[in-house]
Amino acid sequence: MINNYIENADAVVLVYDLTNLDSFANLQDWLDLVNSRFADETKKPAIAVVGNKRDLSHLRVVSQASSHPLTVVISVPLSRAL
């Protein structure tokens, strides 16, 4: 089903919940799905990683330090918004 949503996409936004460690851990699975869909394509979509619920800092479980290695692996600059 994901293939239908990202067909011919110019960009893919992967969003995770800063207050939910599982949603962050699942990012790699989502990235793998996107990469497998576009494996044979010459034009690949831009990928952005966004952490939401930043306003709930007292509930935050995903730190900026823990999110940095993933953004490096997928070549996404770490945003100051984190």
C-alpha 7: how far from chain center: 17
Could you tell me which residue, 65 or 15, shows the higher pLDDT?
Answer: 15
**63 closest CA partner among 55, 74, 72, 51:** 51
pLDDT at 46 over 70: yes
Chain segment 6-17, per-residue pLDDT in tens: 888 888 888 888
pTM of the model: 0.70
